Structure 1
């Protein structure tokens, strides 16, 4: 019953933005400033680096770096954290309309060479006009399919031609830039399984939230009919403590969403075993106050899950 564990690295949670330069300066944890330069000695990227290092040390397999409207740019976060970690896979949100497909592919080739093939791509939905994206939702699958076809074509021996609605390439190719390099595995983030055409390009289907075990098993079966090698991941917000009374107190204070995994360490671990038995391959955990919670999740949840799996 193999289950991989990733952490959904958010950059906009209020509990996390009180750290580093996002603090308003009147708290004990506000950053120190150099008296001469007035420059911050630490910033929010130092905090994100701490989260990544804790995730690596406590057994996580990787990080998912989403594209948040008010958050940090995923490619910049990725580049920063690849230098600060040794083995984590970083799945970077890629907005298909934010640049040319060739430019996206070339950036990926550089990141893979720089990191030892540790980047994946996360393709989310349409960003909307507020982000400068004019494509309407019904046209998004076509654009995504063209981008992923382009990525595969440029990663080949070339030359590659494409005459699409959104991306046009003539005699393209990345040549020696991608020789011996792994093409970034593609994660598609959806609330339901997308069409077979898109699934054919994907290595991972990331569900916005977990389903009841029976419904999850049915969705997985349908998706794998389109792509038998597809791996299934789910975003799983987490609220877990050692004792029931602590869980109850935190629940009353935080009011977690219905999709949140709530319970003691043993209860949450057992729930994850149920998801794995239904066919889930990757649990993407998340919680505010990330340094603390990623530590708890790694030591208490991943540790318990793998101990039981190894003993089986």
Structure 2
């Protein structure tokens, strides 16, 4: 059985010093991964330079994204940036990538939000380009969305054959893609096709268990790390991700209530019974409350 791993999403800080202190705080508290989101709107740092700065302040903490929006960058440029981050962090890059989904990002940048099927197809092709460019020698690709002509990327990442990839999603198409291509799958709430927010029809224990089943079936014998994000900690704690309604999620590991002992036992249940081992704290303000649980289980 895989050991527990814990990540925390961190969005911004008031200064370089404060950002470095936040990264060191996560590392000293036993968290495994620092994760930065990727949106054009809102109070958030750009993820890749923020992670490069965090790398200089830490020695063990892994550096991830929750998650990069594929539509924002050509995969050839992204492959180079992520490989550089992996080199400069001595092999600690752990990128998460998704299709891009938030309508406000696309509207603000004058971009068209394509239907989900188009975005998932584009992401699948981008993953092939990333992995190809991280391999040895020149790589070419001629697809529906991207073309690469005999590009021999430099630098190559430290981690071979490539940095471990995380995909996050709640829809069946994206979950099946993640099961085939990613090292980690973050089981998330499905979003509306129009990019306006979480789909209220996707919630509750049955929907969450169905996502696990989709990943297991699509992965076949391929080992995949399963996890999810903790959207609410404590009794009615914080506003959930993108105003998701957590009222139907109480039986899932996305909502953790009760004592330190209760939370620890619930996470152990989801690991022992369902194979979930990677849990991401979504709200920075819950770090102090959650740190003792990390200490118990990490």
**TM-score, normalised to structure 1's length?**
0.74
Match of 1:261 in 2: 256
Q: Distance in 2 between matches of 1:130 and 1:215?
A: 30
Q: Tell me, in whole angstroms, the C-alpha distance in 2 between the residues paired with 1:254 and 1:225.
A: 34
| Residue in 2 that maps onto 1:287 | 283
Unaligned runs of 5+ in 2: 190-201, 241-245, 250-254
Q: Does 1:134 align with 2:112?
A: yes
Deviation at 1:55, TM superposition (A): 1.3
Aligned to 1:16: none
Per the TM alignment, residue 165 of structure 1 is displaced from its structure 2 partner at its CA by 2.1
Distance 1:226 1:302, change over 3 A: same
SS in 1 for 2:214: helix
Matched, 1:64 2:46: no
Corresponding residue to 2:215 among 223, 245, 254? 223
Given that 1:235 and 1:286 are in contact with CA atoms closer than 8 Å, whether structure 2 keeps it comes out as: yes
Q: Give the Cα–Cα distance (whole angstroms) in 2 for the partners of residues 255 and 163 of structure 1.
A: 43
Please say if 1:174 is aligned against 2:153.
yes
1:58–1:295 CA contact under 8 A, matched in 2 = no
Give me the TM-score of the superposition, normalised by structure 2. Answer: 0.77
| 1:213–1:275 CA contact under 8 A, matched in 2 | no
- 2:196 maps to what in 1? none
**CA 1:211 to 1:281, structure 2 compared with 1: closer, same or farther past 3 Å?**
farther
Contact 1:55/1:295, CA 8 A, preserved across alignment: no
1:97 counterpart SS class: helix
**1:302 aligned to 2:294?**
yes
- Name the structure 2 match of 1:123: 97
Give the structure with higher Rg (CA).
Answer: 1
CA deviation after TM superposition for structure 1 residue 112, in Å: 0.8
CA distance in 2, matches of 1:267, 1:211: 22
Encode CA deviations 1:204-247: one digit per residue, 9 max, x unaligned.
1112259766764553233122222111110113434xxxxxx6
CA distance in 1 between counterparts of 2:10 and 2:87 reads 23
* 2:61 is the alignment partner of 1:88: yes
Q: In structure 2, what is the Cα distance between the partners aligned to 1:301 and 1:197?
A: 32
Distance (Å, rounded) in 2 between the aligned partners of 1:64 and 1:179: 19
Q: 1:192, 1:207 within 8 Å by CA — same for their partners in 2?
A: no
Residue 24 of structure 2: aligned partner: 53
Match of 2:47 among 74, 77, 82: 74
CA distance in 1, matches of 2:152, 2:238: 50
Question: Which among 168, 171, 179 is matched to residue 199 of structure 1?
Answer: 179
* Contact kept? 2:187, 2:211, Cα under 8 Å: no
TM-superposed CA distance for 1:198, in Å, is 4.7
In the TM superposition, residue 199 of structure 1 has moved relative to its aligned partner by 3.1
CA distance in 2: counterparts of 1:269 and 1:206, whole angstroms = 19
Note if 1:161 corresponds to 2:153.
no
